[in-house]
Amino acid sequence: MRLTQQRKCILAELQRTTCHPTASELYQKVRRKMPHLSLGTVYRNLQVLVRHGHIRKLESGNSESRYDGDLTDHYHFRCVQCGCIRDIFLEGISTLASGLSSQGDFIVEGLNIDIYGICSDCRKNKSVKGEGASGNRHKQGMIKDIRDTSDQTAGGGW
């Protein structure tokens, strides 16, 4: 594959970031250097780079695909709230893969692990709103229940 100026630029931009951008996010960045570039061109170049193993394409369900310029062995944590993707470097995964291979008449060539949850940013935002401790929520629920019944009898003494 010939690395055209466009492809070099897209590849360099992708290798510089760890935020796993979508094609359109990447397009916003690359356009600053190459204003004449179209989103379609970025998209096409990404497909070529994926096909030749220069980058990885991350399928993320029904949302837009994200791209990764980091080809080292790592896994991805996906935030179910904001959809961001963080790198996870897990020790022992290759050991696990070879261990699995020894269990049967097959060779494990890859493992697909779906790691998801709530990222640190979303957790921070959540605790600001005061939805942190579940114990408090439980207490609030009980108080509400008491008030609901007392409203009916005592006419809202609160």
Residues found near Zn ion in the complex (CB under 5 A): 68, 70, 79, 81-82, 87, 119, 122
Q: Name the residue nearer to Zn ion (CB basis): 7 or 20.
A: 20
- Give min distance, CB of 115 to Zn ion, in A: 12
Residue 80 and residue 82: Cα distance in Å, rounded? Answer: 6
Cα 136 → chain centroid: 30
Neighbours of 135 (CB within 10 A): 8
- Give min distance, CB of 53 to Zn ion, in A: 15
Q: Is 11 exposed, middle or buried (0-12, 13-18, 19+ CB in 10 A)?
A: middle
Q: Name the residue nearer to Zn ion (CB basis): 63 or 101.
A: 63
Buried b (16+ CB within 10 A) or exposed e, 76-105: bbbbeeeeebbeeeeeeeeeeeeeeeeeee
- Give min distance, CB of 51 to Zn ion, in A: 19
Q: Name the residue nearer to Zn ion (CB basis): 81 or 136.
A: 81
In the sheet that 75-79 helps form, which strands lie side by side, from edge to edge? 85-88, 75-79, 115-117
Q: Name the residue nearer to Zn ion (CB basis): 82 or 113.
A: 82
- Give min distance, CB of 86 to Zn ion, in A: 8
- Give min distance, CB of 69 to Zn ion, in A: 8
Q: Name the residue nearer to Zn ion (CB basis): 25 or 87.
A: 87
